[in-house]
């Protein structure tokens, strides 16, 4: 009898042996627990989640947006997968630590989360055991009605608490936009007039500066300094004319300047200046010749100022032209 049972036992062992060698390693449920016993409202705390599984299994840890409700997830620290063992005995471990915040007022708060494993057909959810955490409140516990005082007296606190001043960026932005709109409206209404006044101001300042420096040179002229002073005065005069009228006055000769102005007084003044510069002659009319050039510059300044005023007021210029035409027609 024993000789018949022994071959049957050996055959059954050989039959189930390969099957046992191919069985997957033991699966463990996910482990989740709070890393603290008590929490406070609005204070972050941590929750640890660990799952052991076969290395060939793909694992999905819980979604931070829904799986932890009503808690809010601030951040997640995920650790690399660790695998121990070889072959069918190998076990991998995935873990993560979630930083949570609770705004619930319950004294006892619970949490259990799912870990999903990906199969050939779908995802299988495996839940952790429910872990408990206690709310630590700073409010005094209310006494039972039998122990509550019959009359309550409110305590007054008159100590002023200093508050940190905060800059109001919204008001600054609104103020900046308001000022920009006002300046933009003023520019649209008076921008042309403001530019005209500024140009007239700059033109006047240049003329005053020219007259001051030119007069200073004319007062210093003498028989010994006639050549040098006359040269500086003529150069200054030509440069100032170029500011009033964009023409190359500095490169024009005396005869070319005389032809341009069509004025015998200007031609005589330039000839006297040439005699002082190149001949070193100085007479009683030398200063008068330089004053003639100064008068010419003043006349050009007046024409430039008038032209600038007329370009800023074209309606006034058209009215003046119409008035002149009507006067000529009536005549």
The pLDDT tens digits for 215-272 are: 898 888 888 888 898 889 889 998 998 888 888 888 888 888 888 888 888 888 888 8
pLDDT digits (tens, 9 = 90+) for 278-320: 887 887 777 888 888 889 889 999 988 888 888 655 554 444 4
Question: What is the DSSP secondary-structure string of 122-138?
Answer: SEEEEEPPPEEEEE---
Spacing of C-alpha 138 from chain mean position: 43
What is the tens place of the pLDDT at every residue in 129-138?
999 999 987 7
Backbone angles phi and psi of 46, in degrees to 5: -115, 150
The mean predicted confidence, pLDDT, of the chain is 80
Cα 115 from chain centroid (whole Å): 45
Of residues 85 and 148, more confidence is placed in 85
Q: How far apart are CA 210 and CA 296, in angstroms?
A: 13
pLDDT at 33: 94
Is 90 exceeded by the pLDDT of residue 15?
A: no
Give the pLDDT of residue 146: 58
Q: Is the pLDDT of residue 95 over 60?
A: yes
pTM for this predicted structure:
0.41
Residue of higher predicted confidence among 94 and 167: 94
* Residue 284 exposure: Cα atoms within 13 Å on the Cβ side: 0
Backbone φ and ψ of 283, nearest 5°: -125, 180
- Please give the C-alpha separations between residue 224 and each of 143, 165, 220, 282, 328, in angstroms, as whole numbers: 114, 75, 10, 9, 56
Residues 116 and 123 sit within 8 Å (Cβ to Cβ): yes
Residue of 31, 196, 262, 2 lying closest to 128 (CA atoms): 31
C-alpha to C-alpha distance for 134 and 152, rounded to whole angstroms:
30
Q: What percent of the chain has pLDDT over 90?
A: 25
């Amino acid at each position: 009898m024993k000789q018949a049972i022994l071959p049957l036992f050996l055959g059954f062992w050989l039959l189930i042996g390969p099957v046992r060698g191919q069985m997957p390693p033991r699966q463990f449920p996910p482990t989740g627990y709070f890393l603290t016993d008590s929490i406070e409202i609005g204070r972050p705390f941590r929750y640890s989640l660990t799952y052991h599984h076969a290395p060939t299994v793909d694992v999905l840890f819980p979604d931070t947006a829904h799986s932890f409700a009503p808690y809010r997830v601030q951040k997640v620290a995920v650790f690399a997968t660790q695998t121990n063992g070889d072959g069918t005995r190998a076990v991998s471990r995935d873990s993560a630590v979630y930083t949570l915040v609770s705004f619930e007022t319950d004294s006892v708060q619970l949490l259990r989360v799912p870990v999903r494993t990906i199969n050939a057909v779908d995802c299988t959810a495996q839940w952790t055991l429910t872990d408990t955490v206690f709310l630590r409140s700073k409010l005094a516990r209310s006494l039972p009605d039998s122990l509550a005082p019959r009359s309550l007296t409110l305590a007054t606190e008159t100590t002023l608490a200093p508050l940190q001043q905060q800059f109001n960026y919204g008001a600054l932005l609104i103020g900046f936009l308001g000022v920009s709109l006002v300046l933009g409206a003023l520019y649209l209404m008076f921008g042309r007039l403001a530019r005209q006044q500024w140009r007239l101001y700059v033109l006047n300042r240049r003329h005053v500066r020219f007259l001051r420096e030119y007069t200073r040179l004319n007062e210093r002229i003498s028989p010994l300094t006639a050549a040098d002073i006359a040269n500086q005065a003529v150069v200054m005069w030509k440069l100032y004319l170029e500011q009033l009228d964009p023409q190359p006055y500095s490169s024009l000769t005396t005869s070319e300047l005389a032809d341009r102005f069509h004025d015998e007084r200007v031609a005589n003044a330039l000839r006297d200046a040439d005699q002082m510069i190149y001949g070193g002659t100085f007479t009683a009319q030398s200063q008068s010749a330089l004053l003639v050039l100064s008068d010419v510059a003043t006349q050009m300044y007046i024409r430039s100022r008038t032209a600038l005023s007329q370009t800023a007021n074209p309606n006034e210029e058209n009215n003046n032209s119409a008035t002149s035409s009507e006067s000529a027609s009536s005549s």
